[in-house]
Structure 1
Amino acid sequence: MEYLEFEKPIQALQEEFNKACKIGTDNDVDVSETCQQIEKKLKEKKKEIYKNLTAWQRVQLSRHPNRPYTLDYIQALCGDTFLELHGDRTVADDKAMVGGLGKIGEQSFMVIGQQKGTNTKTRQYRNFGMANPEGYRKALRLMKSAEKFNLPVVTFIDTPGAYPGLEAEERGQGEAIARNILEMTRLQVPVIVVVIGEGASGGALGIGVGDKVMMLENSWYSVISPENCSSILWRSWDHKEQAAEALKLTAKDAKRLKVIDSIIKEPLGGAHADRIEMVKTLKKIILESYAELKELSPKDLVKSRMDKYLAMGTYKD
């Protein structure tokens, strides 16, 4: 288990707990009382730390190397029923964007999301979760297929942004994202969006328009990352913590500003601390959301979705 800087007090208590238990086991000594005391301190420390996380600390948690990625959730939710579909039928198969058919419970879904890598080799293979235009065009192709066969769509957002390379711009990165936003507003099937990690810029918006938009508790959603914001305003990454606070990028901020519909609570310590519990929670919420949306006609779905986005940013004096 890897620990972030602000988790060091938890790490120290966890090591103390493991050491006490090992001494008891190796020497056949009853240390149950000591272990219980340390375990109690450990739980209290976890509650204290995770209850008062700053915006920057939540950004760090969203990038935790042990945090589940899109394919981890798909595998856990759909199992062997998932059939990955490839290619945009124009240029290539973008490995940073994955998608396909799968069953969650007894309901079939078209599931799409950005995928990061777990080590140096796979990070390069997945382009660090930064999709090219063909990735967004593949996602749109799959969404239009879902509409044709009357299947609900679930998207998982986890990207530091769309790929900003010269080749991507030459192939129409901006147009591809804009086209997705337009088409997603008028898809005639339920669309459920979940920000599971990083939700940065147009890279997130390209698969982020939905009837229900939710964020995991320790994810973030913003027009720019704290580091890039800091580099623009202060010409340095040194002010990234200040930038994170100013950007209002946490799930609580997004909910208060009505950018999202709800927050999905994570297990204590983050999604990576208890993957099984996180998947159970996610499955329950996705199926509940679909049960609510399937009662609406295609016309009402589109109208409700458009009304929601048109209302964003309006205010009264």
Structure 2
Amino acid sequence: MATGTGYALDFERPLIELEKKIDELKALSTSGSVDFSSEISKLEKKAKKLQTEIFSDLSRWQVVQLARHSARPFFLDYVQHLFTDYFELSGDRRFGEDTSLIGGFARFDGKPVMVLGHQKGRTTKENMSRNFGMPRPEGYRKALRLMELAERFEKPIFTFVDTMGAYPGIGAEERGQAEAIAVNLEVMSRLKVPIISTVLGEGGSGGALAIGVGNRVLMMQNSIYSVISPEGCASILFRDASKASKAADALKLTAKDLLEMKVIDEVIQEPAGGAHRDPPKAAEALGKALRKHLGQLSGMSPDELVRDRYNKFRAFGVFSGR
């Protein structure tokens, strides 16, 4: 799994610099020349206090930055930690393969399930290969094929959202990007197996919602879910993309916001400092939540699952009439 911070966000730098000093002192102590145990202990306490101060009151824009962190664990990192016997299935049987939205059969606690999600890359080469986690129509049609396959074999479906949005290129539009997303929404609403969707990092627009129509929708603590990116919103509302932080506040796109508005069902707590600082611990918390919700849904009949999903999304928003 991914480890380390990769690079430091502006608000992380004081903490990371302090942690580097601690590592340097530990290295010197290990050499046996000088004992810095007292200084190390003091600095570790200071680092813990600083970490609490930084991450206990993040702004929405800072959460956006964490959701996009390059070292944040991605879909395949969680698959490696939580699932066994993962067997990837490829192709939409119409046009081709899309490596930005992938999935296949796996075992969760020994039981067969279908898992699928957006996959980003860490290096420039990987991101080019994964199209920066932005699926084309064939990606969504492949996801649809896999979900219908799961229903045929009566297996639960886990979807994992982490995308800026669907790819807006000319080829994607020519091959029916909007239609592919719309069909996914329609079909997911009537699948007769449990569906649990989790936002891992970014949840952008219809590109995210296309695999997000679940009986339960969960979000990692430092993830975001919105109809548009803060930069896109700022460009439209303020005619200035640099006002993205202001747009983030207006969008109310954090897990905390969406839980308060009852758009999602649970916020999964991340390790102190974010999932990228301790990916195994983040995966452990996610696994615990998935087990709980799957257990609740497993007792429902196929018709009850469809009705439960319908009622969940039908309850969104405020409606008034004369």
TM-score (norm 2): 0.96
Match of residue 129 from structure 1: 133
Q: Provide the rounded CA distance (Å) in 1 between the counterparts of 2:226 and 2:17.
A: 34
Match of residue 25 from structure 2: 20
Question: Quick check: 1:60 aligned with 2:61?
Answer: no
Which deviates more from structure 2 when the two are superposed, residues 61-70 or residues 232-241? 232-241
The Cα shift of 1:275 comes to 1.1
Q: After superposition, what is the alpha-carbon deviation per residue over 1:258-313, rounded to whole angstroms, capped at 9, x for unaligned?
A: 11111000000111111111111111211121111010001111111101101100
The amino acid that maps onto 1:32 is S
Match of residue 166 from structure 2: 162
Identity of aligned residues (%): 49
The Cα shift of 1:210 comes to 0.3
Q: After superposition, what is the alpha-carbon deviation per residue over 1:18-62, rounded to whole angstroms, capped at 9, x for unaligned?
A: 222223233532211110110000001001110010111111011
Q: After superposition, what is the alpha-carbon deviation per residue over 1:84-114, rounded to whole angstroms, capped at 9, x for unaligned?
A: 0000111111111100000111221100101
The amino acid that maps onto 2:265 is D
Q: Provide the rounded CA distance (Å) in 2 between the counterparts of 1:291 and 1:11.
A: 40
The amino acid that maps onto 2:48 is K
Question: Quick check: 1:265 aligned with 2:269?
Answer: yes
The Cα shift of 1:314 comes to 2.2
Which deviates more from structure 2 when the two are superposed, residues 281-290 or residues 292-301? 281-290
SS at match of 1:194: strand
Question: Quick check: 1:177 aligned with 2:177?
Answer: no
Q: After superposition, what is the alpha-carbon deviation per residue over 1:148-182, rounded to whole angstroms, capped at 9, x for unaligned?
A: 00000000000000000111111111111111011
Indicate conservation of the 8 Å contact 1:133/1:171, yes or no: yes
Q: Provide the rounded CA distance (Å) in 2 between the counterparts of 1:24 and 1:76.
A: 34
The Cα shift of 1:316 comes to 7.2
The Cα shift of 1:3 comes to 1.3
Q: 1:5 aligns with which of 5, 10, 19?
A: 10
Q: 2:305 aligns with which of 276, 285, 301?
A: 301
Match of residue 283 from structure 1: 287
Q: Provide the rounded CA distance (Å) in 1 between the counterparts of 2:80 and 2:284.
A: 13
The amino acid that maps onto 2:313 is Y
Indicate conservation of the 8 Å contact 1:104/1:283, yes or no: no
Q: Provide the rounded CA distance (Å) in 2 between the counterparts of 1:284 and 1:262.
A: 12
Q: Provide the rounded CA distance (Å) in 1 between the counterparts of 2:254 and 2:121.
A: 24
Which deviates more from structure 2 when the two are superposed, residues 196-205 or residues 286-295? 286-295
Q: Provide the rounded CA distance (Å) in 2 between the counterparts of 1:3 and 1:263.
A: 24
Match of residue 193 from structure 1: 197
Write out aligned runs for 1:20-39 (5 A): 20-39=25-44
TM-score (norm 1): 0.97
The amino acid that maps onto 2:19 is Q
The Cα shift of 1:315 comes to 5.4
Q: 2:45 aligns with which of 40, 44, 51?
A: 40
Q: Provide the rounded CA distance (Å) in 2 between the counterparts of 1:277 and 1:116.
A: 21
SS at match of 1:314: coil
Match of residue 257 from structure 2: 253
Q: Provide the rounded CA distance (Å) in 2 between the counterparts of 1:59 and 1:107.
A: 35
The amino acid that maps onto 2:71 is N
Question: Quick check: 1:76 aligned with 2:81?
Answer: yes
SS at match of 1:203: helix
The Cα shift of 1:250 comes to 0.2
SS at match of 2:150: helix
Q: Provide the rounded CA distance (Å) in 2 between the counterparts of 1:297 and 1:314.
A: 29
Q: Provide the rounded CA distance (Å) in 1 between the counterparts of 2:82 and 2:105.
A: 12
The amino acid that maps onto 2:62 is Q
SS at match of 1:82: strand
Q: Provide the rounded CA distance (Å) in 1 between the counterparts of 2:264 and 2:55.
A: 22
- Number of matched residues? 316
Match of residue 239 from structure 2: 235
Q: Provide the rounded CA distance (Å) in 2 between the counterparts of 1:117 and 1:69.
A: 8
CA-atom RMSD in angstroms: 1.3
Gap regions ≥5 residues in structure 1: none
SS at match of 1:98: strand
Q: Provide the rounded CA distance (Å) in 2 between the counterparts of 1:27 and 1:232.
A: 60
Q: 2:96 aligns with which of 74, 82, 92?
A: 92
> Which consecutive aligned stretches of 4+ in structure 1 deviate over 3 angstroms post-superposition?
none
Which deviates more from structure 2 when the two are superposed, residues 110-119 or residues 281-290? 281-290
Match of residue 205 from structure 1: 209
